Amino acid sequence: MKTIVVAVDFSNATPGVLDMASSLAKAFGAQLRLFHVVEPEPSYTAYGFTPDEFPALHAYQEEAKRRAGEKIEALLEKLKPELPSATSQIAEGSPLHALLDYVKECGADFVVLGSHGHGAIAALLLGSVAEGMVRKATVPTLIVPAPMGKD
């Protein structure tokens, strides 16, 4: 195992995901790659509008990307003393598809991500990145559950 991708969403599942992934990286001498996906800016074209007609939404999207960058860099700084080769990456798009693409792009051997345990109805309506990775991953994937009762 040479490269481990760690999907982080900054939720209450993130500390457990990072602990597990960093333990695995240390044990196997693997490089850790933190990865976060910012949902895409809404499409206005279906309604005959352009993004310029909704500058507040564009500003919100830019702020979301900026904050995600700060958060992932803070996580990376905490890991650097013990895992100096750790890196971070932010993408924009569908979380599942962006994660699958990144895993392929960086040649990852293993993926670690969290699960919130929202249940079958929520997963059906909202989709579940964890469930999608179980079905579509091309490399071994470890799902770390969020702490019980704190979601």
Kindly report, residue by residue over 96-141, the tens digit of the pLDDT: 999 999 999 999 999 999 887 555 544 443 458 888 888 899 999 9
Place of tokens 């993130």: 14
| Residue 96 covered by a domain | yes
Residue 71 has pLDDT above 90, yes or no: yes
Which comes out higher in pLDDT, residue 52 or 26?
Answer: 26
Q: What is the pLDDT of residue 115?
A: 84
Full-model pTM: 0.85
Which domain does 33 fall in, by range? 3-145
Pairwise CA distance, residues 131 & 111, whole Å = 13
| Residue 109 covered by a domain | yes
| Residue 38 covered by a domain | yes
The token pair that represents 12 in the structure block: 């209450």
| Residue 119 covered by a domain | yes
Q: What is the pLDDT of residue 124?
A: 45
Q: What is the pLDDT of residue 29?
A: 96
Which comes out higher in pLDDT, residue 87 or 41?
Answer: 87
Listed residue (87, 35, 42, 89) closest to 61, CA to CA: 42
10 Å Cβ neighbour count for 44? 14
What does the pLDDT look like over 27-57, one tens digit per residue?
999 999 999 999 887 766 666 666 677 777 7
Provide the number of structural domains found in the chain: 1
| CATH code at position 33 | 3.40.50.620
| Residue 150 covered by a domain | no
